[in-house]
Amino acid sequence: MDLGLRDKVTIVAASSKGLGRAVAEEFAREGARLVMCSRDEAAIRTAAEGVQRKTGADVQWTVADVGTAEGCQKLVRTAVDKFGTIDILVSNAGGPPPGRFDDLDDAAWQKAVGITLFSAVRLTRLVLPHMRKAGGGSIVYMTSTTVRQPTQYLNLILSNAIRAAVQGMAKTLSSDLAKDGVRVNCVQPGRILTERIEQLDSDTAKRQNTTPDTIRAHYEKNVIPMGRYGKPEEFAAAVVFLASPKASYITGTSLQVDGGMLMSMF
């Protein structure tokens, strides 16, 4: 199926590895023109060059911390300077650190709000003028299944609390921006195997005095009906479809990519 993404100018934030990297590569395969970022120059350069080599796509990269206003501005400016417009934003950032309520002070909460919520707010604010000028666009927020159902382990309170704000913003925006031709959707990963998931499994294991493999085995045997963690490219395929013109009548939705893990019907 041709998703209609050829030459679409697409920003994929936080994309040197993990889900962002996989999403960037999938857009590149579809012929999109791409802008990638992370905080680490060597990492993002290597990732962008890898995507370009594999796909032949036009890929631009920059060093930008999307947890800051300057980082968000730099990312969007890079896209506009290079390509003159923005068609698609995939809003992503590193996950907040694990921790239970008693572990976290105000500074930890504020930092997490800066990274998880404000990256989404600021990137959206910065891309909208370009999308409106172009007569439309598409925004996908990468959130988490924990927005619908927090994990049974209790060490993700920052993520559980703050991602819900992104989700609420996305739903509200989807109604507001429909008249401008801008679609807004969320994609929610369950347990897709990346360094982040390995880090979380290690943290949970330490707290439970067991091993990361035991935590993973518990999920794969008892929690995920498909019996395995997902692959980043399986997540990326969902993001790319929802962002693409083929999803032209889909806005305000949230698609979980979780091997059937969530038991809720909606």
Ligand X SMILES: NC(=O)c1ccc[n+]([C@@H]2O[C@H](COP(=O)([O-])OP(=O)(O)OC[C@H]3O[C@@H](n4cnc5c(N)ncnc54)[C@H](OP(=O)(O)O)[C@@H]3O)[C@@H](O)[C@H]2O)c1
Interstrand relation of 137-142 and 182-189 (parallel, antiparallel or unpaired): parallel
Of 132 and 196, the one with the shorter C-beta distance to ligand X is 196
Under the binding rule (CB under 6 A), the answer on residue 259 touching ligand X is no
C-alpha–C-alpha distance, residues 141 and 153, integer Å: 24
Q: Which is nearer to ligand X, 87 or 201 (CB)?
A: 201
**Per-residue x/- track, 163-192, ligand X (CB under 6 A):** --------------------------x-xx
239 contacts ligand X (rule: CB under 6 A)? no
Binding mask 92-121 for ligand X (x = CB under 6 A): xxxx-------------------x------
The CA-atom distances, in angstroms, between 258 and each of 116, 126, 167, 213, 265 are: 21, 31, 17, 19, 14
Least distance from ligand X to the Cβ atom of residue 181, Å = 27
Strands 59-63 vs 254-257: parallel, antiparallel or unpaired: unpaired
Asked whether position 18 contacts ligand X by CB under 6 A, the answer is yes
Stretch that binds ligand X, among 63-71, 175-183, 213-221, 248-256 (CB under 6 A): 63-71
Instruction: Please state the separation of Cα 158 from the chain's center in Å.
Output: 16
- Closest alpha carbon to 235 in 264, 255, 215: 255
- Residue 148, interface with ligand X (CB under 6 A)? no
- Any contact of residue 195 with ligand X (CB under 6 A)? yes
43 contacts ligand X (rule: CB under 6 A): yes
Residue 45 near residue 61 (C-beta atoms within 8 A): yes
Please, is 69 exposed, middle or buried when counting C-beta atoms within 10 Å of its C-beta (0-12, 13-18, 19+)?
A: middle
Q: Which chain residues interact with ligand X by CB under 6 A?
A: 14-20, 37-40, 43, 65-67, 92-95, 115, 142, 144, 159, 189, 191-192, 194-197
